[in-house]
Structure 1
Amino acid sequence: MVPGLAFAGGELSFDGQDLSLLWSIPFIGIILSIAIFPLIAPTTWENHYGKIVAAWTVLFFVPLFFTYDLSITTNIFAHALIEEYIPFILLLLVLFAASGGIHISGNLVASPKFNVSILAIGTILASVMGTTGAAMLLIRPILSANKNRKHRMHIPIFFIFLVANIGGGLTPLGDPPLFLGFLNGVDFFWTLQHMFLPVLIFSIILLAIFYVIDSFYFKKENIAKSDEKTTVVIVGKQNFLIILGVLFGIIMSGIWIPGITWDVFGVEVHIENVLRDLFFIFLTFVSLKITSKKIRTDNNFNWHPIVEVAKIFAGIFLTIVPVITMLEAGRNGAFSSIVEITHTDAGEPINVVYFWVTTVLSAFLDNAPTYLVFFKMAGAQAPEGIAAADYLMNGIPATLLAISMGTVFTGPLTYIGNAPNFMVKAMAEQEGIKMPSFFGYMFIAMIVLIPVYILLNIIFL
């Protein structure tokens, strides 16, 4: 581990050209732990995931402290937490609290039309209240409506495809990778503009496939058409205002730039970002205050999912720093081979390769850190004086689109591709649905999704 430090203008900088691949071990260790432990030792992971992630994080910071010094270690720690982790987790927190305060019930009569409608609504809501929020809001109603059916495994599978993943592709609110892009300078409406058609095409294709499959099983079970009317009762509607407040806070933090900043351990903190994050905390408390305990009890609401995400992603955001630094070094860094396969000899990005590389990593690791890594790598090619986000949005928008699609759309390829996937699987199994195994699900997902990936590559990349 040979240190590569440069002091410019009194500020500390991490030079990725001199960093060894050994510095990436803690990050890779966390990602592999997330992927493997739930499969081979689920009880150990459930009881000790925080300790496991903390151990990998310490494995990064102890060598960092002794190889460099306290000021550099503090700077890296503060940069990862202040600029990316805190805004990221506070967004998830407020959306989790708000969605947990909305309960849907009523006389829900199952039919292919009803099911496809729930999936379509959930797909739209995912970009407004996040994939986790939309999934937790609608998975119970759709499972409850279909509880007496014999063939229903396809319902949670397509629910994972659409509501828990693809539907979150329209805004930074929808899926964590896109919010990381927003935090790194991507305009809020750039995502909506460029992802709209891919999300629309993907959603229509999957909804059509689902309708055909659901209609087939509906007829096969010889279920008589019910004369009952579906009635929907929604309580906790005030939490939709909380979600609108979150949207307002994000847009304002991107529009209102007063130029007021201050230094915290070498990190430039902007007042608009601080006010946005404080506003998220305020909205979280408001949601808890205005929502009755009965609603949250009916939703089986608890803090465990968000606590798990908070602990795991704290380790990810801290240990990913040297990985990003080495990728930003381009062909001069330890990850030069990745840069070479994703770029031509002239340094131009190969968008199709970007898509498929991010696809594989998002499916088997996690889409949020995958997005951040390749966003930084592509942005590192920006001409001097041009911000990475501006270069990606205006200079090579197809590359940014490839990264966005490759992380958002490929989360449903495996149960571990995106956080809501396992949550939906667990809730379906609680309802008595025999869900496919890890590899069984992956096989089904590949058959359904990969042809659509190829189509989107042809159209957009």
Structure 2
Amino acid sequence: MRFSRPLAATLLAAGMLAAGAMPAAAAGVSGAGMSLAWGIPFAGLLLSIALMPLVAGHLWHHHYGKIAAGWAVLLVLPFAIVFGPQVAASEVWHIILQEYIPFIALLLALYVTGGGVLLKGTLVGTPAANTALLAFGTVIASVMGTTGASMLLIRPVLRANAFRKRKTHTFVFFIFLVSNIGGSLTPLGDPPLYLGFLKGVSFFWTTTHMFWEFMVCAVILLAIYYVLDSIAWAREKPVVPGTGAKEPLRVEGLVNLALIGAVVVMVLVQGYWRPGNAYLLGETIGLERLVGIAVFVAIAWLSMRLTTPELREANGFAWGAILEVAKLFAAIFVTMAPVLAILRAGMEGAAAPLVAMTTDAAGQPIPWVYFWLTGTLSSFLDNAPTYLVFFNLAGGDPGYLMTQGALTLAAISCGAVFMGANSYIGNAPNFMVKAIVEENGERMPSFFGYVGWAVVFLIPLFILVTLIFF
């Protein structure tokens, strides 16, 4: 795989900045004194992702990497002027090393291994078959992660529905269920819960405390999807391809299932293994994280070596989707950093009015407010650091939050996981599924079009969840 020029240039610039910042060591600029104006580059990037494909599609599709990098530069340059070049360099290097590289290494491993598993046989996208596929993906997402389940199943869903004309709703509900809500039962399912696990939340706490919230969302969405797909099938009256004997389903590329299992094991190991720290260009990072990055890259390499090109071609595998995610999320991680810093500042930051809403007059937490604030911000910020912000805002003590504060922790967890489905950038697999679907020549809703789907189907569901549980 070759890095495109915008991404390579961004990473090279970050490395050069970091090299010049070695003595500065992770400055950690406080969000307490930061204005909301520092969020303008992030807002500009979001608007670019949302609007430019509609109003300047040709420009966006050919230069989105440069445009995203431009917004990152519009943040970093003023930041360097105000706080100093070394501080800016240290902050950028912190984001790249601690957040972006581990993120993209894990996605790369799951993308490559998922693209090496081919489900063959007669698989026809009837309403019943599609609902079964979505239900299966929703269940396994808590075991292999929403990204792993999405990468494993999106191509079979694409092939099963290739003969149909009305299928956009299938991909939208795939994101709702497989890429988000399905990951709510274990720390392996979704990054926010994994961060909670690293902070001391027990492994099966989410299984026991989020099960019924998960069931309500999954069952209702699957039922709605079945009705929608049945209506679409009846209106379309599709001609089912092939009239011969049905070919039994079988899986090829089984080695990649083993490699996906290795990825899951490595993620779990990082939660328990603490061998010490390394010091890289002024930044301290856990050795387990460096080992994890190396293992994920090695797994991707092994997958490419052990899977035949013919199988990947039959599976419609290409590099475009992961490159698009890599470019855009590099800029997203950099530009959203000031917004998260302001949120972390709590009552001392510019977001104090929002923070004040989380407690009542007696100083007690209000679970439904935590659910909606965590969820709303998770819809447009990365849901993992957003979870961490509100986890710490609720006290940050896992022993207390798992017991007396269980309802608040459940609200934070559900908000981060469930409402990551509200936009394409709420959770990484959302954007990856969109890119793969479009790479295969199928249409997906625009950014605001997808948000419209979420408003119609998810927001009423989350109101119901609020009334029942919080």
TM-score, length of structure 1 as denominator length: 0.82
Looking at structure 2, the residues matched to 442 and 11 of structure 1 have their Cα atoms a distance apart, in angstroms, of 36
1:316 corresponds to which residue? 332
Question: Is residue 188–residue 251 contact of structure 1 (8 Å, CA) maintained in 2?
Answer: no
Match of 2:171 in 1: 156
Residues 352-391 of structure 1 aligned to structure 2 (within 5 Å): 352-363=368-379, 365-366=380-381, 368=382, 370-373=383-386, 375-380=388-393, 382=395
What percentage of residue pairs aligned between the two structures are identical?
45
CA contact (8 A) 1:187 1:254 kept: no
Tell me the distance in 2 between the aligned counterparts of 1:329 and 1:305. 35
Match of 1:242 in 2: 259
| 1:55/1:214 CA distance change after superposition, 3 Å | closer
* Cα shift at 1:16: 2.5
Q: Does structure 2 retain, via aligned residues, the 8 Å contact 1:97–1:288?
A: yes
Give the gaps of 5 or more residues in structure 2.
1-24
2:468 aligned with 1:455: no
2:415 maps to a residue whose letter is G
Equivalent residues of 1:100, 1:133 under 8 A apart: no
The yes-or-no answer on 1:37 pairing with 2:46 is no
Partner of 2:287 in structure 1?
271
Matches of 1:394 and 1:266, distance apart in 2: 39
* CA distance, structure 2, for counterparts of residue 380 and residue 57 of structure 1: 28
Distance 1:424 1:276 in 2: 24
Deviation at 1:321, TM superposition (A): 2.9
Give the CA deviation at 1:339. Answer: 0.9
Q: Deviations over 1:59-90 (max 9, x none)?
A: 22222323333442333223222222221111
Aligned position for 1:405? 414
CA distance in 2, matches of 1:344, 1:16: 24
Is the contact between residue 371 and residue 403 of structure 1 (CA under 8 Å) also seen in structure 2?
Answer: no
Q: Secondary structure at the match of 1:343?
A: coil
- CA change 1:91–1:448 in 2 (3 A) is same
Residue 13 of structure 2 corresponds to: none
- Contact 1:99/1:129, CA 8 A, preserved across alignment: no
Q: Structure 1 residues 75, 150: CA separation in 2 closer, same or farther (over 3 Å shift)? A: closer
Q: State the alpha-carbon separation in 2 of the partners of residues 82 and 435 from structure 1.
A: 32
> Per the alignment, do residues 232 and 181 of structure 1 end up closer, same or farther by CA in structure 2, a change over 3 Å counting?
same
Out of 79, 86, 98, the residue aligned to residue 101 of structure 2 is 86
Contact in 1 for aligned 2:31/2:343 (Cα 8 Å): yes
Give the structure 1 partner of residue 345 of structure 2.
Answer: 329
Alignment of 1:428-443 (within 5 A): 442-443=451-452
What is the CA–CA distance in structure 2 between the aligned matches of 1:321 and 1:437, rounded to whole Å?
25
Q: Deviations over 1:343-371 (max 9, x none)?
A: 334544322123223444444x35x2x54
Q: Describe the shift of the 1:83–1:430 C-alpha distance in structure 2 as closer, same or farther (beyond 3 A).
A: closer
Task: Call closer, same or farther: CA 1:209–1:12 in 2, change over 3 Å.
Answer: closer
Gaps of 5+ in 1: 1-9
Q: Of residues 229, 251, 257 in structure 1, which corresponds to 2:274?
A: 257
Deviation at 1:331, TM superposition (A): 1.5
**Counterpart position of 1:141:** 156
1:74 to 83, 89, 92: 89
Question: Are the aligned partners of 2:118 and 2:315 in contact in 1 as well (CA < 8 Å)?
Answer: yes
* Aligned: 1:294 with 2:310: yes
Q: CA separation of 1:427/1:253 partners in 2, compared to 1, >3 Å: closer, same or farther?
A: closer
Secondary structure of 1:234's match?
A: strand
AA in 1 matched with 2:386: V
Question: What is the deviation of 1:289?
Answer: 1.1
Q: What residue in structure 2 maps to residue 95 of structure 1?
A: 110
Specify the alignment match of 2:10 in structure 1. none
May I ask how many residue pairs the two structures share in their alignment?
444
Decide whether aligned partners of structure 1 residues 69 and 349 sit closer, same or farther in structure 2, where only a CA change above 3 A counts. same
Task: After TM superposition, list the pairs within 5 Å mapping 1:105-124 onto structure 2.
Answer: 105-124=120-139
| CA deviation vs aligned residue, 1:280-326 (integer Å, no higher than 9, x gap) | 11111111111111111112212222122222222222233332222
Distance 1:121 1:61, change over 3 A: same
SS in 2 for 1:344: coil
Give SS of 1:342's match: coil
Q: Deviations over 1:168-190 (max 9, x none)?
A: 33344444544555566665544
The 8 Å contact of residues 147 and 429 in structure 2, kept in 1 or not, is answered as yes
| In 1: Cα distance, 2:374 partner to 2:68 partner | 23
TM-score after normalising by structure 2: 0.81
C-alpha RMSD of the superposition: 3.5
Question: Equivalents in 1 of 2:91, 2:399: separation in Å?
Answer: 24
Deviation at 1:108, TM superposition (A): 2.0
- Aligned residues of 2:321 and 2:436 also touching (Cα < 8 A): no
CA offsets 1:222-280 (integer angstroms, 9 cap, x no match): 7899995562121111111111111111111111223x224445533222222222111
Equivalent-residue separation in structure 2 for 1:341 and 1:315 (angstroms): 30
Identify if the C-alpha distance between structure 1 residues 179 and 381 changes in structure 2 by more than 3 Å, giving closer, same or farther: closer
Contact kept in structure 2, 1:128 and 1:243, CA below 8 Å: no
Structure 1 residue 94: Cα displacement: 0.6
Deviation of the 1:97 alpha carbon: 0.8
| Counterpart selection for 1:170 from 185, 208, 220 | 185
Q: 1:198 is matched with which residue: 203, 213, 227?
A: 213
- 226, 231, 237: which is aligned to 2:248? 231
The alpha carbon displacement at 1:93 in A equals 1.0
Q: Is the partner of 1:107 in helix, strand or coil?
A: coil
How far apart in 2 are the matches of 1:430 and 1:312? 16
CA drift of 1:100 comes to 0.7
Paired position in structure 1 for 2:358? 342
Which deviates more, 112-121 or 223-232?
A: 223-232
Counterpart-to-counterpart distance in 1, 2:443 and 2:65 = 29
